[in-house]
Amino acid sequence: MWPRTPARIGVDGVMARMLPLHVTPGMPRVSPVTTAFSPTFDSASALAAAPATCRHCGEACTGLLLANAHGTFCCAGCAAVYALLQEHGLADFYTCAPDGVGPRPDDGPASSSRFAVLDDALTSAQFLDGGDGTWRYARFTVPAIHCASCLWLLERLWRLEPGVGTCDVDLGRRTVRIAFRPGETTLRRIAERMTALGYAPALDPDHRPAMPASRRVLYTKIGVAAFAAGNMMLFSIPRYANGAPLESVWQRLFDALNVLLAVPVLFYAAQDFLVAAWRALRVRHITLDVPVALGLLVLFGRSLFDILTGRGAGFLDAFAGLVLFLLIGRLFQQVAFDRIAFDRTARSFLPLSVHVASATGTALRAIDDLTPGDVMMLRPGEVVPADASVEGDGVVDLAFVTGEQAPVDVRLGEVVVAGARVVGAPLRLRVVRTVSHSRLASLWQASSGAHKPPPRLTTLATRFGQAFTVVALGLAVAGFMAWWPDVGTGAQVATAVLIIACPCALTLAAPVTLGTAAGCLGRAGVFLKTPAVALDLARVDTVVFDKTGTLTRAEAPAIVDLQELDDAQWDIVRRLAGVSTHPVSRALAGSSPVDSDVRHVHERAGAGIVGEVAGIRVALGTAPFVERVTGRRLSAVAGRTYASVADRAGWLTSTTPARPGTTSMIAAVSQVAETWLVSGDHDGTMAHWRPLFSDRQRFQQAPEDKQRFVAQLQAGGRHVLMIGDGLNDAAALGSASVGIAVADHAACLVPACDVVVSGEALQWLPEVLQYARRASRVIALCLAVSVLYNLVGLYLALTGALTPLVTAILMPVSSLTIVGLSTGLMRIRVPRFPS
Amino acid sequence: VTVIVWLIAAGALVAGGFMAAFVWAVRSGQFDDTTSPAIAVLHDDPVVPPRDTDREGSLHA
């Protein structure tokens, strides 16, 4: 049991150890505890020495620590969950998964009003899923579900929330189905309880749990086809094995039974193939479905004719087997990662409703009802839903929209675009454009409306389908003419040609190979939107990388340069930095313990920190901030962080280090493809990347520039792979042949793309490309083999030697060869990615 | 040889029964999630020390 499951859990864990919806990579964690402690640091006794990991979520506590009798915690939320679980005897939560950690409870804009929409009957109805006299069922998507522990705890939700019954967790789709008694609890109470545990249900439309209905239909069809094929084989054996013709009464009985079984196979199990072919023909288009449907119909018609005229037993057993194999091919095609949303709309980044100033105070308003002129009151951590002008100074983080790392100051009257996140202090904003007309929405439309080249599989299938139809029909006519004037034999030969030319093995080759490849890649942390994406990956010849968040990890900067202060003075700055949670401060302070001699600290998020270290006034932050608190003029240079100690000032530069393995990864990729670096950041790190990209670097690229650049490369006939992480790359990801999004923690914040890669798996990109190329070659090999089988069959058909027995053997054997070849070749030497 | 008719009838009955069982299983959602139940079943509930040792005897002590 275990050797298989933990591997999966491991991969899922990588993807899913996401921060809650409201914390983004690259943003300092501003937890309630931090804000409560930061004005004055005299309560330092509550803090322990760093580094330590949180007892609940297992993350390194980079900011302030909270210690109590249970252990150390990174935030109040984690401590509360831990205490709650202990109290209810649910401490096993930490022992039933390999890594034994829980998701961090949401410390974003946790407000009592967040789930107020669930009190509305219309909204809550969208989450209800049947019920009976006592119980009602609700279905939620919970993005934080990732491992066995999550499943264990959520199944025991009834111990924490009265009125809750069973709770079925679907790890794959990250959904829960909760039974509850309407009189005793409400959807809102359940949602709030789950949020307090770190499992906040997602309410946005993109996260509506889908009912897995289509797969049920496919399973039923496979069941019907397998049932029919098995029984027909039994009914056909007497005839094949008898040696002499059966007595006609028995032969008729078996034939009748076969026809009886074949009818549901044709009209139910094979329905999709016939419908697809009919749709293609109606628009005067020939796809691979057309010769398949033609083959199936001829097979069935000819068999029926043979049976009715008493010429023979027909090929009905081969027919049912064929449909069964075709359906199994469909099953491979359905390798899908339900838990990952590839097609996000901009809406999933935005809150459902915001507080708006009204005549009577504030009111909660759905963001669609916002009109220009409304004044929104946003708290720290909340996302601005519509372009709006600021009513007072503040700080926002534009990482989503521009890819810029550092939060920026905004002044009274300045317009902030939708998607910006409020940092530090609450902010009042006046809406200037409605949600649907905001820049975020238009960026998103640009990405979805982008001219994307059609998937290679579609073009290939169309080309093969046309060639196949022409050749098969041509041969059938030729065979018919060759036997002229013997019309009877001619018709038999013609139908035999159409039967044997049915490109069943061909239709199996691509889905089985690509489906197997997608499954293997998924286990390695590379998730394809559809298996067909692997074919497009196989012919990529240009790779465009985004920098921030893709090649570098935004949350762990390194200090590269300390200037204009001496070592003793920098040590003093370090002591101040030790009490800050900002990533640069953490990097500067290193692991030194929190200093009790740092007093009168005042930190302004997104700007800087000022305080007294051993009586000396010290400031650290952006140039405007240090200028403001010290009254000195600084010659500000972009990308620098300034510090002042007493009357001296200096500066430092920090860089976000590349992910491990990046250098060798890019070097390996550039062997097989042209590599480009495209970043929205300033060009301060150009020299750093020169050895890898030489002059193929572009900085200060707006999202539109990135998309234009990709389109320009494609216009030059290149197959472009774009790798990015944020909204600022969304347009480029949408128009590239293949768009890969890197997801570190927040799998729920990935823009629309074809592939989602976990941050750890990105370094295996060269292996992934190679594996995709192998898939392409395996398909070519399978095609060659199936053509070989078809040639043998055609020879038999044209000479009139294609008997039912030969068909009954040849067709399944060719299908089995293809399935065996493609799964086997894609499973051996799968690039082994340590997880 | 008429026994073959009975055999076919019996075989069809059994096979049809399994077919019906399969369709019912698919319809009732038993194939919707093939990972979670396999993991859920592995959890043991904690061994709670029996409160009433007199009745349980020394087996659990």
Nearest 10 degrees: Cα torsion A272, A273, A274, A277? 120
Q: At what angle do helices A504-523 and A456-482 cross, to 10 degrees?
A: 160
Predicted confidence at residue A97, as pLDDT, reads 61
Percent of all residues in chain A with a pLDDT value above 70, rounded to a whole number: 81
Percent of all residues in chain A with a pLDDT value above 90, rounded to a whole number: 15
Rounded average pLDDT over A407-417: 81
Rounded average pLDDT over A373-393: 83
Residue to mutate among A151, A155, A174, A247, with most B CBs inside 10 A, is A151
Q: Tell me the range of A548-562, A645-659, A766-780 where mean pLDDT is highest.
A: A766-780
For residue B49, pLDDT over 60 is answered with: no
For residue A792, pLDDT over 80 is answered with: yes
| Cβ <8 Å between A171 and B36 | yes
| Cβ <8 Å between A216 and B23 | no
Rounded average pLDDT over A39-44: 32
Give the model confidence (pLDDT) of A150-198 as tens digits.
Answer: 888 888 888 888 889 888 888 777 788 899 998 888 888 898 888 888 8
Predicted confidence at residue A833, as pLDDT, reads 59
Predicted confidence at residue A275, as pLDDT, reads 94
pTM of the predicted model as reported, rounded to 2 decimal places: 0.73
By C-alpha distance, which of A102, A123, A6 is closest to A54? A102
Predicted confidence at residue A405, as pLDDT, reads 59
Cα–Cα distance, A6 to A775 (Å, whole number): 27
Residue B27 to chain A, least CA–CA distance (Å): 7
Rounded average pLDDT over A687-699: 84
Chain CA centroid to CA A327, Å: 26
Contact status, residue A799 vs residue A496, Cβ threshold 8 Å: no
Q: For residue A744, what are the CA distances in angstroms to A147, A584, A782?
A: 17, 20, 37
Predicted confidence at residue A474, as pLDDT, reads 92
Predicted confidence at residue A323, as pLDDT, reads 94
Q: Does B26 touch chain A (CB under 8 A)?
A: yes
**Higher per-residue confidence, A787 vs A450:** A787
| Cβ <8 Å between A1 and B26 | no
Structural tokens at position A25: 């990579």
Residue to mutate among A88, A216, A218, A248, with most B CBs inside 10 A, is A216
Residue to mutate among A168, A214, A222, A268, with most B CBs inside 10 A, is A168
| Cβ <8 Å between A5 and B38 | yes
**Higher per-residue confidence, A681 vs A100:** A681
Q: What is the DSSP string of A764-819?
A: GHHHHHHHHHHHHHHHHHHHHHHHHHHHHHHHHHHTT---HHHHHHHHHHHHHHHH
Predicted confidence at residue B60, as pLDDT, reads 42
For residue A310, pLDDT over 90 is answered with: no
| Cβ <8 Å between B19 and A96 | no
For residue A402, pLDDT over 90 is answered with: no
Binned at pLDDT 50, 70 and 90, residue A771 comes out as very high
- Choose among A212, A220, A231: nearest Cβ to B15: A231
Give the model confidence (pLDDT) of A69-113 as tens digits.
Answer: 777 777 777 777 888 888 777 777 777 665 666 776 654 444 556
Rounded average pLDDT over A642-655: 83
Residue A106 to chain B, least CA–CA distance (Å): 25
Q: Does B9 touch chain A (CB under 8 A)?
A: no
Rounded average pLDDT over A387-409: 75
Sheet with A136-141, strands from edge to edge, namely A128-131, A136-141, A175-180, A164-170
Rounded average pLDDT over A286-308: 90
At residue A829, the 3 state secondary structure works out as coil
User: ipTM score here?
Assistant: 0.77
Q: Tell me the range of A47-56, A431-440, A761-770 where mean pLDDT is highest.
A: A761-770
For residue A66, pLDDT over 80 is answered with: no
List, as ranges, residues 40-59 from B with C-beta within 8 Å of A: 40, 42-43, 46
DSSP A53: B
Q: Tell me the range of A19-23, A514-518, A691-695 where mean pLDDT is highest.
A: A514-518
For residue A755, pLDDT over 90 is answered with: no
Binned at pLDDT 50, 70 and 90, residue A212 comes out as low
Q: Residue B43: list chain A partners with CB under 8 A.
A: 92, 96, 148, 152
Q: Does A158 touch chain B (CB under 8 A)?
A: no
Predicted confidence at residue A602, as pLDDT, reads 78
Element containing residue A202 per DSSP (H, E) = none
| Cβ <8 Å between B32 and A89 | no
Place of tokens 């472009």: A720
Rounded average pLDDT over A340-366: 70
Predicted confidence at residue A100, as pLDDT, reads 62
Place of tokens 């990135």: A706
Give the model confidence (pLDDT) of A800-834 as tens digits.
Answer: 778 888 888 888 888 899 999 999 999 887 776 55
